[in-house]
Structures are given as C-alpha cells and as structure tokens.
Amino acid sequence: FHSPLMDPMLEGFRAVVAGLSFGEPVIPIVSTLTGSPVASGELGDPEYWVRHVREPVRFADAVKTLADRGVTTFLEIGPDAVLTGMGQQTAPEAVFVPVQRRGRPEGREIRAAVATAHCQGATVDWRAFFAGTGGSRVDLPTYAFQRRPYWLAETTGADVIIRGADNTRADDDPVATVRWQEILALPEGERERAALAFVRTQVAAVLGHESGAAVPADRAFTELGFDSVAAVELRKRLTDRTAADLPATLAFDHPTAQAVASLLLREALPEQTGPARPLLTELDRLEAFLFAAPELSEDNERITTRLEALLRSWRDTRQSAAEDTQRDDDFTTASDDELFRALDDLEMGS
C-alpha cells in the first residue's frame, strides 16, 4: 500500500468506491491522510479513499493533532499493539492502551485495557462490563482515614490466588511491592536485591506473568518475548514508579532485569558509585553488546576464553598491587635496624 505499485488498480478502485453509499461519522475523526480533522462530506468523496491507498500515512501528524487538542489517552483497537509503540514515541506524555496483544488471552487483555483507560479518566459503562458476572457494588468507608483493603480473588480450580497492587500475589516476595524510595533507603546489600525484585515484578507485569519469579534476572528480554511495545511499556512503568529519566532504548541498551536494576540504582544514587562508575557503565555496555550479538558459533569459545583471561589478568594485577601496597606500608612503619637489614638483604641478593 501507498507506493507506486498501487497505481495500476487506482482507476478500478475509484469505480468501486464511487458505487458505495456513505454516512457522516458520529465520532470525530482525525485523518491519517491529511493529519487533520476530516471536514464534512470528506469521507464520502471517492477521491479521498483513492488518495488514501496511494499517498503516505501521516500517522505522527494525526497523533500530534489529537495531543494538541488535549487528548491524553489513545486506545488501539485491533488484533495487536502495532501502533502503540509508534504513538508513544510521537506523544511521550500520553497513554497508549492496546486492546489486544498477539499471543495473549483476549479476555485478560481487554479487561486490562478497560482498567487502564478508566485510570486515565475515560468513562466506562461498568454495568455493561460486569453484566452476567455476578459482580456487585461494595460500600466504601465514609472517611478517608478508615482504610480497608479489598482484595480481588481469582479462582483457579481449588486454588484461590489473592492479588494486590500491580497484579502481584499476596504471598510473593514482599520486597517486590515496596515503593522505590523505600528500596533506596535500604542497606547496600539488601538494596540491590530489592531493586532487582522490583524490576523483575515490572517485567512480569509487562509480559503478563503472575509474579517476578517467572523472570530470570540474567536472561535477555528478547528471549523472554519482548517486542518494541513491551520495551516502551517497561520504560513507562519504571519511569512512572521511579521518576528516573530513562532512555527510550532502555530495554535494548540494558537487556536484562539485572542490568536495568543496576542502571536505576546508579541513576538514583550516583554519589555511592564513586570512581568505579565509568567502569561499571562500560561493563553494562559490554553486557548489552554480548546479549545483543548474533550467534557466533565457532567464535563463542574464543570470546569466552578471552573474557576469562581478561578477568584472571585483572585479578592478578589487583592482587600484585595490594601486595606492593602492603610492602610499602611495612617500610613506612619499619625501624632503622629493620631498614638496614632490608638493604643488606637487597645487596646480597644482587
């Protein structure tokens, strides 16, 4: 579509469209042919549809037009989230909600889309949504300080899974549901573990898993089933929850949950990384490159050997430096007699 390859069919297409009857749209439409709102009668003109087949799609212009008019929530209605990722790049401040995702249960995805749209201020006909489900209203406390959690129970056979915020199970590792600022206040060792659990929980939510336990810390996102839409969604979830300024290429530059957790901690606590930060940044880049590299077959063993040799050399150099420092310390605290004996030993050895 939209290329010169369509030229031979345009006349026949124009004849078919001219025989159709059109009505005026009830919902206002912004055209991806012009990037502007359609005028009255425009969609009933056969020439409009002929141009639509042949001319470029001005998707970005249409999204910008809507965003400029105050639209903050976009709902993609289709069999997959094809446009969501592109739309998010065009209007980063808006929320894009796909109704369906390829390879995921339709019912669950639709429910998630309705819930997300509702949280963004969209009007939902809840009576129609819950019709036939047996759902009923719950009386909430009169005062804000009378707080009481209302857990949703999902029954699966004989098991009942209790879920809380972020779709996490109540019996999961509680660290996964701790707020980001609380994680940063933890002691160093515990902080790294909690940050990783936090990221794994967000990755699990993007992929539709029950908990972060289903997300290996060191497995590449592409191997877990990430696509461009999932990458955009993960970045937005983490940005919303941590207020970190994360790059648009987050999931590609930092392709594992462990790498993302390390990045978040470095960004949040730069003063605690000290002089090692540049080296750690380069190691992250190396990790990203290794995971993103194609299968190298016969070169895999050579690369592995090189990395192991580099690590051994680095350890040996550090150990030698530590021994030299120890000797320097010994001479600093040595007495005059000990220094003279050392000099005698050196002369005898030469």
* CA distance linking residue 62 with residue 349, whole number of Å: 84
Residue 173 has a pLDDT of: 44
CB within 8 A of 214, min separation 6: which ones?
A: 204, 207
Neighbours of 73 (CB within 10 A): 15
Closest CA to 225 of 204, 240, 241, 244: 204
Angle, alpha carbons 79-85-87 (nearest 5°): 100
Domain 4-126 carries which CATH code?
3.40.366.10
Q: Is 346 helix (H, G, I), strand (E, B) or coil?
A: helix
Pairing of strands 152-156, 95-98: unpaired
Query: Which H helix or E strand runs over 95?
Result: strand 95-98
Quote the pTM value.
Answer: 0.57
* CATH 3.40.50.300 assigned to 174-292: no
Residue 167 has a pLDDT of: 44
**Per-residue pLDDT tens digits of the chain, which is 350 residues long:** 899 999 999 999 999 999 999 998 999 999 999 999 999 999 999 999 999 999 999 999 999 999 999 999 999 998 888 898 889 888 988 989 999 988 888 988 899 899 989 988 899 999 999 999 888 887 777 777 777 666 655 444 333 333 444 444 434 444 445 688 888 888 877 888 899 999 999 999 888 888 888 899 989 999 998 888 888 889 988 988 888 888 888 998 999 999 999 999 988 887 655 566 667 667 767 776 776 666 666 677 788 888 888 888 888 887 766 655 555 556 566 666 766 676 666 666 55
Distance of CA 41 to CAs 14, 20, 38, 173, 212, Å?
17, 14, 8, 59, 52
- Tokens in use for 205? 């939510």
Domain pair 4-126 / 174-292, same fold: no
Domain boundary assignment for the chain: 4-126, 174-292, 304-349
Dihedral sign for Cα 274, 275, 277, 279, please.
Answer: negative
Residue 160 has a pLDDT of: 35
* Phi, psi (deg, nearest 5) at residue 106: -60, -45
Residue 15 has a pLDDT of: 96
CB within 8 A of 269, min separation 6: which ones?
A: 184
